[in-house]
Amino acid sequence: MTDQPEKTHQKIAKRAEDVSMAATVVSAAVGIGATLAAPTGLSAIGVVLGITSAPLIVTAAPIIAGVATVTGVVSSSAYFYSKWKNKND
Protein backbone atom coordinates (compact mmCIF):
# COMPACT_ATOMS: atom_id res chain seq x y z
CA MET A 1 0.00 0.00 0.00
CA THR A 2 1.43 3.38 -0.93
CA ASP A 3 1.22 6.44 1.26
CA GLN A 4 -0.66 9.28 -0.37
CA PRO A 5 0.62 12.79 0.25
CA GLU A 6 -1.47 14.78 2.67
CA LYS A 7 -4.15 16.73 0.87
CA THR A 8 -4.70 20.45 1.28
CA HIS A 9 -8.10 20.07 2.95
CA GLN A 10 -6.54 17.75 5.55
CA LYS A 11 -3.81 20.30 6.31
CA ILE A 12 -6.38 23.07 6.67
CA ALA A 13 -8.50 20.92 8.99
CA LYS A 14 -5.49 20.17 11.20
CA ARG A 15 -4.45 23.84 11.39
CA ALA A 16 -8.01 24.92 12.18
CA GLU A 17 -8.14 22.31 14.93
CA ASP A 18 -4.89 23.62 16.45
CA VAL A 19 -6.17 27.21 16.42
CA SER A 20 -9.50 26.13 17.89
CA MET A 21 -7.86 24.22 20.72
CA ALA A 22 -5.58 27.15 21.55
CA ALA A 23 -8.52 29.56 21.57
CA THR A 24 -10.46 27.23 23.84
CA VAL A 25 -7.59 27.02 26.34
CA VAL A 26 -7.19 30.82 26.34
CA SER A 27 -10.94 31.27 26.73
CA ALA A 28 -11.03 28.92 29.71
CA ALA A 29 -8.14 30.74 31.39
CA VAL A 30 -9.75 34.13 30.81
CA GLY A 31 -13.08 32.81 32.09
CA ILE A 32 -11.45 31.66 35.32
CA GLY A 33 -9.64 34.98 35.66
CA ALA A 34 -12.84 36.92 35.03
CA THR A 35 -14.66 34.88 37.64
CA LEU A 36 -12.00 35.66 40.21
CA ALA A 37 -11.77 39.35 39.24
CA ALA A 38 -15.50 40.05 39.00
CA PRO A 39 -16.59 42.81 41.32
CA THR A 40 -18.74 41.82 44.28
CA GLY A 41 -20.58 43.67 47.01
CA LEU A 42 -20.34 47.45 46.97
CA SER A 43 -17.90 47.48 44.07
CA ALA A 44 -20.48 45.59 41.96
CA ILE A 45 -23.07 48.22 42.81
CA GLY A 46 -20.57 50.90 41.74
CA VAL A 47 -20.13 49.16 38.39
CA VAL A 48 -23.89 48.92 37.86
CA LEU A 49 -24.33 52.61 38.68
CA GLY A 50 -21.46 53.58 36.38
CA ILE A 51 -19.35 55.05 39.20
CA THR A 52 -16.53 52.58 38.58
CA SER A 53 -15.72 50.28 35.70
CA ALA A 54 -15.40 46.51 35.61
CA PRO A 55 -11.92 45.03 35.31
CA LEU A 56 -10.71 44.61 31.72
CA ILE A 57 -10.63 40.82 31.98
CA VAL A 58 -14.32 40.79 32.93
CA THR A 59 -15.13 42.97 29.93
CA ALA A 60 -12.97 40.92 27.54
CA ALA A 61 -14.14 37.46 28.63
CA PRO A 62 -17.31 37.35 26.47
CA ILE A 63 -15.37 38.55 23.42
CA ILE A 64 -12.70 35.88 23.87
CA ALA A 65 -15.38 33.23 24.41
CA GLY A 66 -16.97 34.34 21.15
CA VAL A 67 -13.66 33.97 19.33
CA ALA A 68 -13.29 30.45 20.75
CA THR A 69 -16.79 29.60 19.57
CA VAL A 70 -16.15 30.89 16.05
CA THR A 71 -12.85 29.01 15.76
CA GLY A 72 -14.63 25.87 16.98
CA VAL A 73 -17.24 26.23 14.26
CA VAL A 74 -14.57 26.80 11.60
CA SER A 75 -12.57 23.81 12.85
CA SER A 76 -15.63 21.56 12.89
CA SER A 77 -16.64 22.67 9.42
CA ALA A 78 -13.13 22.01 8.07
CA TYR A 79 -13.09 18.60 9.75
CA PHE A 80 -16.39 17.51 8.23
CA TYR A 81 -15.47 18.93 4.82
CA SER A 82 -12.18 17.02 4.90
CA LYS A 83 -14.00 13.84 5.91
CA TRP A 84 -16.48 14.32 3.06
CA LYS A 85 -13.67 14.97 0.55
CA ASN A 86 -11.81 11.84 1.66
CA LYS A 87 -14.97 9.78 1.22
CA ASN A 88 -15.54 11.13 -2.28
CA ASP A 89 -11.92 10.74 -3.44
- Report domain extents, the chain: 17-88
Query: pLDDT under 70 in the chain at which residues?
Result: 1-5
For residues 13 and 78, the answer to whether their CB atoms sit within 8 Å is: yes
Instruction: Look at residue 1 in the predicted model and tell me its pLDDT.
Output: 44
- What is the per-residue pLDDT across 42-63, written as a single tens digit (0 to 9) for each? 999 999 999 999 999 999 999 9
Cα dihedral 38, 42, 43, 49 sign: positive
> pTM of the predicted model, to two decimals?
0.80
